[in-house]
Structure 1
Amino acid sequence: MLVDIKEIITGTMVLFAVIDVIGNIPIIIDLRDKFGHIHSEKASIIAGIIMIAFLFLGKSILNLIGIDVNSFAVAGAFILFFIALEMILGISLYKEEETNARTISIFPLAFPLIAGPGSLTTLLSLRAEFETINIVIAIIINMIFMYIVLKTSNKLGKFIGENGILIIRKIFGVILLAIAVKLFASNIQGLIS
């Protein structure tokens, strides 16, 4: 169990890009306008618990259904690829579902906006390459950042502006695309051999 700053930074950046904290500011502002108060602490803590639980139990669940980590990582690379395309091209490949005012902090904020299919897949993909402790630290850093963004979403949205959010989203989309390609390349060899 080695704490590695490089792995923590890489893991934090990958999760930051997948969760798309900055790109989600307009969605968070919209939810706040529609439903009022958002419990930032609750959303961040629940998302963190979901992600850490999946980090530890995800591999066992996969083994139970007969899927190895390399296969899951390759599938994850495809999901990251499509999320990156959404960010770069400004398109939506999934349908957003209806939400309820009482459960807004849990659904859709904690799940699937923060701890969604992309971030859960990414966690297992990262686990194939990084030490678990470094991934847990990366999750905690992202949840702290997510909490700050949720608390200050209106101010951040005004400060960054629509064009700023768009530019940041596209930059992280390109980074995520490169990560998806690397993930695919490093795990496809394990599947072939």
Structure 2
Amino acid sequence: MKFLIAGLGNIGNEYDATRHNIGFEVADAFVLKHGGNYALDRHAFMSEVRWKGRTFIVLKPTTYMNLSGKAVKYWMDKEKIALENILVIMDDLALPVGTLRLRGSGSDAGHNGLKSIQQTLMTDKYPRLRFGIGNDFPKGRQVEFVLGKWKPSEMPVIKETLLKSVDAIECFATQGISKAMNVYNT
């Protein structure tokens, strides 16, 4: 079985370790745990990881957030991966810091990465893992907050949730979306 794991974020040092790049961090944690390496390829940094008889194509799109759909669609088609075997990972302002929410489908909720993927795939029926980043920012400062770094006080929760995210990906791939939702939706 083949899976596409797409961690969303923006390339460039200025975006490293920002809330908006948590999808990249989850992808990195998964690849690191399973001994993979990234190579720059078409529209993404890509790593191929094998685990428990499954192949994972792990992406960090180089298209920037707003064009994430281009990378996801390209790799889905190239690797012949079914829609239900993709998992998109991204930040979510609507969830408290450290909260995970797995869904088999749903709206883009204003997230530009999801909006791009839904427009490109012409459906919202694909699995996603939302990683809560909270919404502790003054009115009108959303962009600064999302592109900002984690507070030192948040780091223990972020590190723990990164590990849970990797476990959630593994559960999704081995036991399916329903079981993973039951276990990891907190």
TM-score calculated relative to the size of structure 2: 0.32
> Higher helix proportion, which one?
1
> Higher strand proportion, which one?
2
TM-score calculated relative to the size of structure 1: 0.31
Larger Rg: 1
